[in-house]
Amino acid sequence: MWTVSKLARRCGLSRTALLYYESVGLMPAPQRSEGNYRSYGEADMQRLLQIRAYRDAGLKLDDIRMILDRPDGEAAGVLKHRLLELDAEIGMLHAHQQAILKLLQNKNLGKEKMITKQKWVSIMKSCGFSNEQMNRWHAEFERSAPEEHQEFLEFLHIAPEEIKTIREQSRVPA
């Protein structure tokens, strides 16, 4: 005879899971000891192991109940139905995987047009930057973080040739 915790541990489940299965009627109410503690036997362990096997296969509790309460061949039908559901889920997941791969191939992903070069220059000028100061700003950006400078210029949707020119001019010693 086992206690709740010992039986659950022996079957690789939590105590809470065993008590839940009992509360929803998957596990029969166990015998009680003189101290009114639950006491489980070999038949309880076998049933709990069956429940665990069916749960590991992804069956719903209602399907498990149907199998365990009517052992006259229901298992094969329920398992075949679950296999068909899994095939459909796998197909759907594969389609999701393909859609994600397609999205990841899009080079503009995450580079929505939020600000343009013209808007950026306008902001800089309204803050009092002269053309010379903006050139020094680019030079410092290029010197201290060239990769981020490239990404920033791309973020502004500047044409590749113009980016090349800006970066070359930024590398010229002032």
Is 109's pLDDT higher than 80? no
All domains of the chain in start order, with CATH: 4-75 (1.10.1660.10), 117-171 (no CATH)
pLDDT of residue 99: 78
C-alpha neighbours within 13 Å on the C-beta side of residue 9: 5
Q: What are phi and psi of 74, to 5 degrees?
A: -65, -30
pLDDT of residue 63: 92
By residue count, the chain amounts to 174
pLDDT of residue 125: 84
Nearest residue to 19 via CA among 43, 56, 48: 48
Is 60's pLDDT higher than 90? yes
Is 107's pLDDT higher than 70? no
Write the CB contacts of 52 (distance below 8 Å, at least 6 apart in sequence). 11, 12, 13
Is 10's pLDDT higher than 90? yes
pLDDT band at 23 (very low <50, low <70, confident <90, very high): very high
pTM of the model: 0.55
